[in-house]
Amino acid sequence: MQSKKVTPQRLGGLAQAAQHDPLVYTSRARQVFKEKFLDDVDPDGSLRKKNPKEAARRAEAARKLFYARIAYESVKARAAKKTNRHRGQAVAIVKKEVKHRAITTASTSRR
């Protein structure tokens, strides 16, 4: 969950985006990120020389795999969080029932 707290860095980033095209000042970072996948599938660069289209296809597949793994981990984390939240509720209900039984048992044993 993203915090609503405004930081000076966020203000600076928004001010920069308001004055300049983000595609221009992030182009180098995007290029390096794209090259990372090419390097992953073709570390020595031989495939890029022989068959650049195949190298690009494999890099795109590696990029999709990267994002699919992130999505999978996110789904697992949300499911675990949901399960823990439900477990917490279940534990609270059980504790309440145990407490109620203890009170009921104590009051009936006095009679």
Coil, strand or helix: which one is 35? helix
pLDDT tens column, 25-70: 899 999 999 999 999 999 999 999 999 999 999 999 999 999 999 9
Q: What is the pTM of this model?
A: 0.60
State the Cα torsion 49-52-55-61 to the nearest 10°.
Answer: 170
Domain boundaries, the chain: 9-109
Look up residue 41 and give its two tokens.
């599938």
Per-residue b/e over 36-62, b at no fewer than 16 CB within 10 Å? ebbeebbeeeebbeeeeeebbebbeeb
pLDDT 10s digits, 67-105? 999 999 999 998 888 777 666 665 555 566 656 565 655
